[in-house]
Structure 1
Amino acid sequence: MPNVFVHPWRHAALIRILSWRDISGRYRGSLLGGLWALLTPLLMLAVFTFVFGVVAPTRWPGAEAQGMGMFALRLLAGMVVHGLLAELLQRAPTLVTGQPNYVTKVVFPLEVLGWVALLTALFHALMALLVLVVLNAVWGTGLSPTVLALPLIVLPYALLLLGLCWLLAALGVYLRDLTQLVGPLVMVCMFLGPVFYPRQAMPALAQPWLALNPITIPVEQIRRVLFDGQWPDWQTLAQYSLVAVVAYAFGLWAFTKFKKGFADVL
């Protein structure tokens, strides 16, 4: 169990190098390079504003009073949170199978692959969050001191996703069909989460179940601190953080147990 807390610091230099290589490699050869990390959320915002504000208007409590721009910012907040889950979990099942040389030919701490995938996805999510904070400060509800609580919301969410990533990466070595299953599950998380509508828009009986979606609490708490100028619901955030730590520890434990057979399968 100590490995749960020690291993990221033990391999910090390796994680940093591989993460930077992963991030920079994504934009290598492109004309605008890393600027795409900032331009992408702006393009998403424009699309959301047009589709959900003009083509197929979506009803949101209070949207009429706040205007289309505020509605689009709320949508973008939900999509940024879901985008982090989508990028990480869709990559997870092939995280190990896509790097067979790390398993069969060299001595390599395979747990590092999960951290690299997380930090790469987190980089893009944080860039999108930065754009969201700036746009909200200029055209939305303004800049509130509660924005300082954003790291306290993102951190447990990231730990939970990392635990899920390790679990899916380990299972993906043995169950190759998992790659086909994760895509639809990611879509379910989006449409059964408060991305396009608030939880209050769901039937009363379904609202408690919506909390089981890993994106629900982060989306609601980020909107709370960004747009409502309120501090997070600390009790809810503490409960979510406890679940996140358990998921992180279990995912790493499962990955460590399963990896003993990776070489035989690959």
Structure 2
Amino acid sequence: MLLDTFKAIKSNKDLIYHLTASDFKANNSRTYFGFLWWILDPIFYMAIFYLLVVVILDRGTPNYPIIIFTGLIPLKFVTAALVDGTNSISSKGNILQQVYVPKIIFVVVRLLVNCIKFLISAVVLILFLVIFGTEFSWYVLLFPLIFIINAFCLLGVMIFLAHLGVFIRDVKNMMQYISRVLLYLSPVLFEMSTVPDKLVPLLYLNPFTTILESYRDVLIYGRAPEWIPLLILTVVSLVILYFGIRLLNKNEKEYAKVI
């Protein structure tokens, strides 16, 4: 089943390229600042939390802006991909009713659009770290690998959200609140070293914790990422992806009727 899905993706690579390019342009043309919001949004959040924690509460560390920014950029990627995944199929009713397209294509397109935005934001993140005097180690070369694992983990979850988004239109609104919860249940605004030992396992129940800490490991801590948690997360994501693809295949004919 997975092999057939990969073959379908490969055979529709031209369609994926066209839809990705058109979606990326459409998203950026809806506002004056377009893609810049992907950079401005984390910067604004960083300024607010820095003002609250460092200036007002007199807490935090000298590298607190780095901690916040390396947390907010990946968080933006994850939450945007999940929110976009909810209507990746339901928003393509005009295509579904005219021609057959494997539904996985629409989910992959939404993931690719957000991947492009994240990679551009990552360049800004690297420049930000350079400005703050971060000394990089060779582990920074593992950043693309962590990004690939991150994207792969998102794909399976996005498939389930895309399915739910067809039958329950309120899912996208619910995801807005879930993304806010994710901000506070992940080590976005703090370092794991400051967390009491008894709470660390609880935080790692959140898959994003592993991804975020791995990004920080290679970017600012100069050490290897968390290989075992990453491996476990990859295996779990493969299982989720398998059942997600089965769900799409089972409901192929239903989507066009509902939409």
Which letter does structure 1 place at the counterpart of 2:222? Answer: G
The verdict on how the C-alpha distance between 1:194 and 1:42 changes in structure 2, with shifts beyond 3 A counting, is closer
Match of 1:241 in 2: 234
The verdict on how the C-alpha distance between 1:123 and 1:58 changes in structure 2, with shifts beyond 3 A counting, is farther
Which letter does structure 1 place at the counterpart of 2:21? Answer: W
Quote the offset at 1:220 in angstroms: 0.4
Residue 147 (1) aligns with residue 148 (2): no
- Measure the CA separation in 1 of the matches of 2:178 and 2:14: 33
Match of 1:7 in 2: 8
- Compute the TM-score of the two structures, normalised by the length of structure 1: 0.85
The verdict on how the C-alpha distance between 1:72 and 1:246 changes in structure 2, with shifts beyond 3 A counting, is same
Which letter does structure 1 place at the counterpart of 2:177? Answer: P
Which letter does structure 2 place at the counterpart of 1:21? Answer: S
Moved more, 152-161 or 24-33: 24-33
8 Å contact from structure 1 (residues 81, 219) kept in 2? yes
Match of 2:26 in 1: 25
Residue 104 (1) aligns with residue 104 (2): no
Which letter does structure 1 place at the counterpart of 2:103? Answer: L
Moved more, 109-118 or 40-49: 40-49
8 Å contact from structure 2 (residues 67, 191) kept in 1? no
Q: Deviations over 1:115-160 (max 9, x none)?
A: 1111111122112221111221232322321111011111111111
The verdict on how the C-alpha distance between 1:34 and 1:180 changes in structure 2, with shifts beyond 3 A counting, is closer
Residue 78 (1) aligns with residue 71 (2): yes
Match of 1:220 in 2: 213
- Measure the CA separation in 2 of the matches of 1:194 and 1:149: 21
Quote the offset at 1:207 in angstroms: 2.0
Q: 3-state SS of the aligned residue for 1:205?
A: helix
The verdict on how the C-alpha distance between 1:29 and 1:237 changes in structure 2, with shifts beyond 3 A counting, is closer
8 Å contact from structure 1 (residues 88, 117) kept in 2? yes
Which letter does structure 1 place at the counterpart of 2:17? Answer: R
Q: 3-state SS of the aligned residue for 1:118?
A: helix
The verdict on how the C-alpha distance between 1:233 and 1:194 changes in structure 2, with shifts beyond 3 A counting, is same
Q: Deviations over 1:145-198 (max 9, x none)?
A: 111101111111111111111111112212233233222222222211111123
Match of 1:169 in 2: 162
Quote the offset at 1:77 in angstroms: 1.1
Q: Percent identity?
A: 28
Which letter does structure 2 place at the counterpart of 1:12? Answer: K
8 Å contact from structure 1 (residues 146, 229) kept in 2? yes
Q: 3-state SS of the aligned residue for 1:107?
A: coil
Residue 256 (1) aligns with residue 249 (2): yes
Match of 1:193 in 2: 186
The two structures, once aligned, show a CA RMSD in angstroms of 2.4
8 Å contact from structure 2 (residues 20, 110) kept in 1? yes
Structure 1: tracts of 5 or more residues without a match: none
8 Å contact from structure 2 (residues 83, 172) kept in 1? yes
Quote the offset at 1:232 in angstroms: 1.5
Once the two structures are superposed, the pairs formed by residues 17-166 of structure 1 within 5 Å of their partners are: 17-28=18-29, 41-42=42-43, 44-59=45-60, 63=61, 67=62, 70-166=63-159
Quote the offset at 1:6 in angstroms: 2.6
The verdict on how the C-alpha distance between 1:56 and 1:104 changes in structure 2, with shifts beyond 3 A counting, is farther
Q: 3-state SS of the aligned residue for 2:189?
A: coil
8 Å contact from structure 1 (residues 225, 232) kept in 2? yes
Moved more, 106-115 or 151-160: 106-115
Residue 206 (1) aligns with residue 199 (2): yes
